[in-house]
Amino acid sequence: MAYYTNQYGQPIGQPLDWQERPFPQRESFVGQYCRLEPFSMANHADALFAAYSQAKDDRDWTYMAVGPFNTMQDWLKNAALMEASRDPLHFTVIDLQTDKPVGSLALMRIEPRHGVVEVGHVAFSPLLKQTRMVTEAHYLLMRYVFAQLGYRRYEWKCDSCNEPSRRAALRLGFSYEGEFRQAIVYKGRSRDTRWFSVIDGEWPQVKNAFERWLNRDNFGADGKQHEKLEALRIHE
């Protein structure tokens, strides 16, 4: 970041011609493999519970602030909160092949004044994991934030013990910024939080890598990728 100097000789940040950005809305976004829809109890709750229930155990909920949901009643209580919430703003991931919900994620800690938002509450079922839809769902939401809303910063945070989340953030193009020690208490335990971000100046490179990776030509007849997402960013 370039620094400027004020009339007192003090270094200051770059001046901006900046206006507050719009608050994210309940919109839908369609990709090649999935679409994102605003979470709806009527349209998504039952199918999502069934999708989450396909997991062999509850390990997917270890680092989540909520869950696990072992009964439909418990899940519906949480689903009602998801539907009513404006921040976090929850989206359901729909598999275009089956037209069924397979997971959800949310925009949260939304700050239109500063153009900052975080992606979180990422709850992907076994039907979604290890598919192209995972990458595309993140791409669709990130594209909405940067290209449509004009935000400056897109954040990812995770428990410092959550190694899969750390790897996912780096794969998707987020940069590691540091660790906040004893940041929160959840589920009766202390959490150190790792911070990651993508900023608007990085978005064009991240976007191009996403789109090249998601292109069907990047996959062989066996469904395996020809080039990794990380490699496509390096080659930009």
pTM attached to this predicted model: 0.96
- Residue type at 43? N
* pLDDT at res. 90: 98
pLDDT value for 139: 98
Predicted local distance difference test score (pLDDT) of residue 3:
77
Mean pLDDT of each 10-residue bin along the chain, 236 residues long: 85 92 98 98 98 97 96 97 98 98 98 98 96 98 98 98 98 98 97 98 97 97 94 80
Rounded CA separation 187/47 (Å): 26
Please report the sign of the dihedral spanned by the C-alpha atoms of residue 55, residue 91, residue 164, residue 216.
Answer: positive
